[in-house]
Structure formats: C-alpha cells, structure tokens
Structure 1
Amino acid sequence: MFQAQTYSGSKQEDYELVLKQLQALSEGETDPIAIMANASALLNQFLTDVNWVGFYLWKEDELVLGPFQGLPACIRIPYGKGVCGTALKERTTQRVADVNQFPGHIACDSASRSEIVVPLIIDDAPYGVLDIDSPIPHRFDETDEQYIEKFARIVEEFLSVK
C-alpha cells in the first residue's frame, strides 16, 4: 500500500524514500500507462526546480509522447534527434547542463534550460525514455543521475512484467 512521505533527510535519503514509494505505488500493477503515470507524478512531486517529467515511448521507429506532468510537449521525436532521441540511440543517460549547448536540442518548452534523459531498455530492446526538464541551468548533478537511473530501472522492472 502506498503512503505519502515527507522529505527531510539528505538528498540520498530522500531519493531512497522515493524509490520505496515507487515500489509501493507499482506493486501488483501490470498496466504500463498506470505505472508510468504514477511514476511521473511521483517524481514531479518530489523534485524541485523542474518543469516537465515524463515518458516517451518507442513506437514505429520514433519516440511518442507518453504519460507526463507539465506543459503540453512535443508529440513525436525522431530516433537519434534531440536529447531524448540521442539517449535512446546511444542507450546512455544524457545529463545536459545547458540545453542551448546541446547540438540539435528540440525545444518543446522554451523555459527548459537543463535536462536529464534515461533510456528504458526491456529485454535488450528499446522501450522509451524517462525525460526530466528544468528551467535552471546545471539543475541535475551526479547524485540526481544515479538515483534517476535507479528510478528508471525500477520502472523497467514493472513494465517488463507480462
């Protein structure tokens, strides 16, 4: 059973609590939209200084907008384009301190200044990405990257349950 918690520990302790909350929210659920909707809401509620949190899903050779929190967003992103497409193509997290310095950045929200994107890979096949934007340059550090990657791995585990 999910129970909301308050955050008041160190950054790492707060992230550990969020990981536990994700587990509790997703336990027993098999619907991918429900899992991703709650995951994006949880991160949006937890993270400060963010303006968009959500998922893009791999469909027919492009990324298509999935569950998210924030302003309306780009609906389709070509493979290998922008931060999201690059993360999926390279299968590596992209932590971008200043999106204006990222070649080919796709500006869905002109207020976004930094971004972190974690690819979702299930059964060695692309599934999509977890994308988080911030209006603050250099918003995401190594701790954020480490824990957002852990968060994405938990999401993958729940999405891979058949």
Structure 2
Amino acid sequence: MSFSATALTGNKPEQYAQLLEQARALLHDECDRIANAANLSSLVYHALPDLNWVGFYFFNGNELVVGPFQGLPACVRIPLDKGVCGAAARTRQTQRIEDVHAFPGHIACDSASNSELVVPLVDGAGNLLGVFDLDSPLRARFDADDQRGLEAIADAFVASLR
C-alpha cells in the first residue's frame, strides 16, 4: 500500500478531522499494535508543526516500555510514579503540560522538550495498554483542540487492536 498524507487545511478542529481520517486509513484492516503505532507516530510527527517527539509507550504490567516513535532516542522504561507519561498511565487521564520543567518528577529524555501531551491508552475493559506521547520544543504548544484531536487518534489506535 502506498500512502501519501495530504496537507491539513482549515481551522484546528478541521485539521484534526482530516488527520483522524488519514489515521483511520492507515489503521484499516490492520490489528498489529507495533505496525499501527509505527505508522501513527510517523503520520502525526510529519503532519503537525512544532513537535520534536511523537510515540508510544506500552504497559508491560509493571511499567511503561518505549514502543515505536519519531524523534531522538527516548527513555526506555518509565515507572508509573514518574513523569508525565507515568501520571497519564497512573490516573488514566490525558496530561496536557504547558511547561514540563515545572511538572514534579518530569523525566527529561530530550532536553529540547518544553511542553507535552500524553494520552492514556485504555481498552474497553478498562485495561491500561500504554500511552501516546507528544513533546514540543515550544512552551504551551498543546491546547484543548489538540487534546481532543489527539485523544480521537489514540481512540482509533485502541479500536484498531480489536
């Protein structure tokens, strides 16, 4: 299959609707979590501006372990009591952090990161699968529109695993 992402147009909600459509096309008829995480990481990294890391951490029953991503090499293992990813996994709530340096217990995998958005990946039975993590070199890069759009993409990823 050949895939060509088209440029996003319109306001932010319209752009996220287009990105979700592209994500669903990539996920269509594929249920492998590694393949889908790799493709979604690449799609989002290349589609959205001002990102320096986009990827997945998977829960192994004890901690988060790095999965497919785009960006500089990452922390391999993250305990649930550390960092923004750990907080999202532990609370099962999206973490939208304007200034990661002010976040207690922040793990600085990439010193260029200044803001972060982490969406927990939870299946229909309430089981934690992992997190979808995005970092930006800009402070306050992510707003409510980004959060809603990226949560929808994370939901599409979880749905693809069924």
Scaled to the shorter chain, the TM-score interval is over 0.9
Deviations 1:64-113 (A, max 9, x none): 00000000000000012100001010010000000011000000000000
TM-fit CA distance, 1:31: 1.2
Deviations 1:38-63 (A, max 9, x none): 01101001110010000000013000
Could you say what secondary structure the match of 1:124 adopts? coil
Q: Distance in 2 between matches of 1:71 and 1:3?
A: 24
Q: Is the 2:5–2:43 Cα contact (8 Å) retained in structure 1?
A: no
Q: Distance in 1 between matches of 2:4 and 2:102?
A: 40
Structure 2 residue 44 is the aligned partner of structure 1 residue 43: yes
* Corresponding residue of 1:150: 152
Q: Is the 1:52–1:132 Cα contact (8 Å) retained in structure 2?
A: yes
Q: Which amino acid is 1:58 matched to?
A: F
TM-score, L = length of structure 1: 0.96
Could you say what secondary structure the match of 1:57 adopts? strand
TM-fit CA distance, 1:19: 0.2
* Corresponding residue of 1:20: 21
Q: Which amino acid is 1:141 matched to?
A: D
Could you say what secondary structure the match of 2:93 adopts? coil
Q: Distance in 2 between matches of 1:4 and 1:99?
A: 30
TM-fit CA distance, 1:3: 4.5
**How do residues 1-16 of structure 1 correspond to structure 2 at under 5 angstroms?**
2-16=3-17
Hey, which bits of structure 1, 4+ residues long, moved more than 4 A? none
Q: Distance in 1 between matches of 2:4 and 2:26?
A: 9
RMSD value, Cα: 1.1
* Corresponding residue of 1:111: 112
TM-fit CA distance, 1:8: 2.2
Deviations 1:17-47 (A, max 9, x none): 1000011111001211000100110100111
Could you say what secondary structure the match of 1:138 adopts? coil
Q: Is the 1:56–1:130 Cα contact (8 Å) retained in structure 2?
A: yes
* Corresponding residue of 1:136: 138
Q: Which runs of 5+ in 1 are unaligned?
A: none
Q: Which moved more, 1:69-78 or 1:9-18?
A: 9-18
TM-score, L = length of structure 2: 0.96
